[in-house]
Structure 1
């Protein structure tokens, strides 16, 4: 547990009991939870936690590169604790998100003329989002 928390200390995050509960919930979580879902889960063990604490912690993690934000619906942001390069497939019906770890670098080609002001543009990374309807929602 100490090694787990050390990475957040090194990122400059003050570790309160409530923040530790949030971090523990996120650790290894592949469900891409929303702030509301994180709040509900953490509140079970920390009934005094506020939504503001959850939201502010998520923003602090995002700012420090410890979390990414994934948006299907602009009104419901999802959070991904996996900051390794990967892509997402998202169901537009149920908001389910799954990680895709394939490398699409070779398949993605920029046009020769990217646009004004982008002469000499060099790609340093990419992120692909696939939108559709999952098998559960099409049944």
Structure 2
């Protein structure tokens, strides 16, 4: 995760404004493992920045994604989720409560090689999503 100074430098180097609201959005993302939606981020930061709009949050995460400091997750829901951990790693979503969790590292090189051989593509990235019922929801059942 980036420090505030590193974040400011990345934003400036990419021609983006550095605002307290953008710093707050990234700070929230950098210190959570929840993989929040833009709506969830807005709910967490709106009390501190009462003039911040949902559009500001959404535009911020779009910018962060474009400059490569946040990854966008499409886990099959209506909204995208965001992760400040930009290292390639799989995710798992609970089909009961909807929470998204990181999955410990899976060696993807063999899968990438297989896909490359089958398609002729030079594979340069991947995203894996798994689905199931989390332990907490299993205990509730």
> How does the TM-score come out when normalised to structure 2?
0.82
Q: 1:79 aligns with which of 67, 82, 88?
A: 82
- The alpha-carbon distance between structure 1 residues 113 and 32, as it changes in their structure 2 partners (threshold 3 A), is closer
Q: 2:101 aligns with which of 98, 101, 116?
A: 98
Cα distance in structure 1, aligned partners of 2:75 and 2:13: 31
Aligned alpha-carbon RMSD (Å): 2.0
SS in 2 for 1:76: coil
Deviations 1:55-80 (A, max 9, x none): 11111112222212112343122111
Structure showing the higher strand proportion among its residues: 1
SS in 2 for 1:14: coil
Count of residue pairs brought into register by the alignment: 134
The answer to whether 1:21 aligns with 2:24 is yes
Deviations 1:18-52 (A, max 9, x none): 11211221224221011111101111210110011
Contact 1:69 1:78 in 2 (8 A): yes
- The alpha-carbon distance between structure 1 residues 106 and 14, as it changes in their structure 2 partners (threshold 3 A), is same
Aligned to 2:65: 62
Could you say which structure has the larger radius of gyration? 1
